[in-house]
Amino acid sequence: MAVPLFSLTPDLIVSRLCLGTMTFGEQNSLPQSFQLLDRAFHSGINFFDSAEMYPVPQRAETHGRSEEYLGRWIRTRKIPRHQVVLATKVSGPSGQMTWIRDGPASLDSWNITEAIDGSLTRLRSDYIDLYQIHWPDRYVPMFGEIEYDPTRSFSSVSIEEQLTALQKAIDAGKIRYVGLSNETPYGLMKFLHVAERISIRVRIVSLQNCYNLLCRNFDSGLAECCSHERVCLLAYSPLAMGILSGKYLSLDGGPAEARLNLFRGRYAEGESRYSLSHSTVKKATDLYVNIAKKYGIRPVSLAIAFVLRHPLVASVVFGATKIWQLQEALDGCKVDLIPEIVTEINRVHSAFPNPCP
């Protein structure tokens, strides 16, 4: 069974599964990355997501390798450029990644332009199909934070400047479409309204935010915005950083090479957001894994199928470091979530709503 397709726009057709590349260059070597890309492509996946800051955990020595590996794969395999949809991202303000334009300092016009040119070079491509703002250039509670603190606001680059820089890149043929990531209802609507007010042709076509069995926050606010404004969700972290596979529930804490074990102490966001030390996270995960077992479905496939059934999801952005992990995600396209399964899932959600925001 080939992976189904979805029309993100009339001329941007993406597979319902999108292979994320943030392990390429850290957990995955170049040959391993090629093997995963080969299997994904030949299974019907045409959509590949990266970012200028990847791989993670991010460090100066590996910066940009994920894009480089993806670009080398396309050239080495001589894949016609129109047969793949490349998505990547510009990093928002950060004081941590000093090797990326000193922080990066901001999302001003210069930073956006430099980021696009750098990604094009690493991807060995003349254009990027979907260019996304990785996170906002303003204070936003994200990556596990849920409460807005107005005292943490800082001076930020105007949305007008960001959109103008992106429009120039579109006019130059460097990017085709624009998406947001890790955004809020306010941010999404502001981008749309500013674009309309200044009569700019940039159209926000997608939002890449977290969505999975343990995090359904998208449905509170953002879903309404996306539905009315015709913005599709690219759901990332469908497995809640691997927790929903059930592998971390074992007595030994899971395989040593599993991400949360391999990078323990180096991955603050993941460890705080997806920690089984929180009793509600463990209880909910246990229940979801047991639902999968009850119906003879692999937990990974159940988690993927759950996200795919959302009417606003265009594609599910997932990662894999092994071929068998990729296959379990592919199998999620074959799972039919019968009403009884959905009822049981929603019962767990009602008892333990969004333990991994």
Q: Return the amino acid letter for 292.
A: A
The one catalytic residue among 54, 211, 236, 267: 54
| 186 catalytic residue (yes or no) | no
Cα-based torsion angle of the residue sequence 148, 154, 157, 163 in order, rounded to the nearest 10 degrees? 0
SS (HEC) of 55-73: CCCCCHHHCCHHHHHHHHH
Q: Are 135 and 89 within 8 A, CB to CB? A: no
Contact present, 48 and 73 (Cβ < 8 Å): no
Q: DSSP 3-state assignment of 167?
A: helix
Q: How far apart are CA 357 and CA 346, in angstroms?
A: 17
- Give the residue from 298, 308, 304 showing the smallest Cα distance to 247: 298
- Which residues contact residue 290 at a Cβ distance below 8 angstroms, ignoring those fewer than 6 apart? none
Task: Specify the residue for token string 């993941």.
Answer: 270
Residues taking part in catalysis: 54
